[in-house]
Chains A and B, each alone.
Chain A
Amino acid sequence: MNSFFKYFSDIFHGVKSLLIGMSVTGRYFFSPGQIVTQQYPENRKDLQMFERFKGEVILIHDANNQHRCNGCGICENNCPNGSIEIISARVPGEDGKPKRIIDKHIYHLGMCTFCGLCVKNCPSNALGFSQEFEHAVFDRSKLNKVLNKPGSSIIKGVE
């Protein structure tokens, strides 16, 4: 007799638990306002990334096309996967001594793991992260970027 009741109580509890589960999905079905999906290409204009978002490494330039990088190579040494290559040049300074400036600050986006060590360890805070995240390109070579803009120079007093 006991097993007879157990048979029916099993059915009852089983059906009850199934209905509880269905109440959850049913509730979401009838409340589409709870949908959190972002409509990505449509919301592109007002899509705001967080200020610390690690999009890609950039060399921060000011309005006068000047940056703070003196080509010391600490970022290159700190990079775990060799994504940064510094090609520096020597030009005669104002006092006549040869002075080191960067010729090319090459950044291989395809190799970067966004660990942030270059930005953290830069002694003159020349590097930063941009909020750019749409990195897809048709050619791999386009991922090798030169970070210092053409014609840019170093801010006086940084070196």
Chain B
Amino acid sequence: MTFNIYDFTSFTTWIDQSLNSLMSPTLALITEMVIIGVVFLLFYAVVGLFLVYAERKVCAFMQNRVGPNRVGPYGIFQTIADFIKLLMKELVYIKDSDKLLFNIAPFIVIIASFMALSAIPFAKGLHAIDFDIGILYVIAVSSLGVVGILLAGWSSNNKYSLIGAMRSGAQIVSYELSVGLSLLTIIVLAGTMQFSEIVEMQSDGWFLFKGHIPAFIAFVVFLISSTAETNRGPFDLAEAESELTAGFHTEYSGIKFAFFFLAEYMNMFLVASIAATVFLGGWMPFHISGWAGFNTIMDYIPPFVWYIGKTAFVIWLMMWFKWTFPRLRIDQLLTLEWKYLLPINLVNILLMAFLVLMHWHF
């Protein structure tokens, strides 16, 4: 099947060629990296600010409130005002804290989420780097963030922070398994780890529909475990506001706190875009094989909009979880992973492998 979706490859190759014609290849490469870095920074900031606003509005509506409505129409500039406030706040230094670790911890958290973002395909041909082991890379890099959380808890010289960090460590070590295994289920179906290929393969139906039962189970498991991995929702034990005041970032103030805050939302964006890419077809429009007219109409919606729409839907699901459920206890959290999610996941992979062997998928 061929689709008339705009391919960003022509645009990127044009930039590449024009840069190469202007300067030496090394310099062109450096310039390209700088451009990509700046673009990602801007994207990161805009998405982070918007997600904070969205979360506040979504939670307000779920709680039967209005939410921010003072700064700008419908309060859309609220997060910018908050950001300015956080920039101006004093950075409090804690007595007997480990200064070096205390200062670099927020950067580790934010860099981890930043690195993972580079492998995500935003539209056709629009990705920073197209690894052939994209999923593996994302799983590996996104779990680096926990190092930052552990360091933050350890270096703060605060018992609440330490408890929060240790909880976070136990949590992420466990739930990393489920995230990996649920993605593995889809890799079994797709036969590749490359994001661009995974998306291309979903041109005649998203994997959620193609893989039907096991894919759906994997999607649910991925949602649960990725919510846990981002320290959100009913799994926010590392922060656990009512138990540990603010958990690992109790002692952080000002912009350093903002980094943690931003990283949390970016991690959410990240796992949502992975879920959207792997299960819901990423930037691929909604296609039903055989319905040529319908598919052409769907193609008129730009792929970037599809991608953002799907990601927003998954983010909204995660917000819905967070603002409905009470928090789990640490032992229940681990019970859920080791007694429920992991066995289900393992059986699910077998089921999917069986399905693929028998060609029972669509």
Contacts and interface: CB of A to CB of B under 8 A. Distances in A.
B56 to A, nearest CB: 13
A46 B187 CA distance: 62
A25 B62 contact: yes
A141 interface: no
A29 B61 contact: yes
A39 B69 CA distance: 10
B66 interface: yes
B65 A35 contact: yes
A22 interface: yes
A29 B58 CA distance: 7
Given A11-B340, A18-B325, A21-B325, A35 B64 contact: yes
Interface size class of A (residues with CB under 8 A): 10 to 19
A34 interface: yes
A25 B66 contact: no
Interface string B295-332: 00000000000000000000000001101110000000
Interface in B36-71: 58, 61-66, 69
A36 interface: yes
Contacts of B324: 18, 21-22, 24-25
B62 A37 contact: no
Interface string A48-69: 0000000000000000000000
Q: What secondary structure prevails in chain B residues at the interface with A?
A: loop
A126 to B, nearest CB: 43
Interface residues of B, number: 14
A25 B320 CA distance: 8
A101 to B, nearest CB: 50
Contacts of B58: 29
B320 A26 contact: yes
A36 B325 contact: no
B321 to A, nearest CB: 8
Contacts, number: 35
Most buried by A among B63, B64, B66, B325: B64
Given A21-B325, A22-B320, A28 B340 contact: no
B61 A32 contact: yes
B320 A28 contact: no
A4 B293 CA distance: 49
A76 to B, nearest CB: 44
Nearest to B339: A7
Contacts of B69: 39
B66 A28 contact: no
B325 A37 contact: no
A29 to B, nearest CB: 5
Contacts of B61: 28-29, 32, 35
A24 B324 CA distance: 8
A4 to B, nearest CB: 12
Contacts of A39: 66, 69
Given A11-B340, A18-B325, A21-B325, A29 B66 contact: no
Interface string A1-45: 000000000010000001001101110110010111101000000
A24 B66 CA distance: 17
B325 A28 contact: no
Nearest to A41: B70
30 contacts: A18-B324, A18-B325, A21-B324, A22-B320, A22-B321, A22-B324, A24-B324, A25-B62, A25-B63, A25-B320, A25-B323, A25-B324, A26-B62, A26-B320, A28-B61, A28-B63, A28-B64, A29-B58, A29-B61, A29-B62, A29-B320, A32-B61, A34-B64, A35-B61, A35-B65, A35-B66, A36-B64, A37-B65, A37-B66, A39-B66
Q: Which 9 A-B pairs have the closest CB atoms?
A: A25-B62, A25-B324, A29-B61, A29-B62, A37-B66, A28-B64, A21-B324, A22-B324, A37-B65
Given A18-B324, A25-B320, 5 more contacts: A25-B63, A25-B323, A26-B320, A35-B65, A36-B64
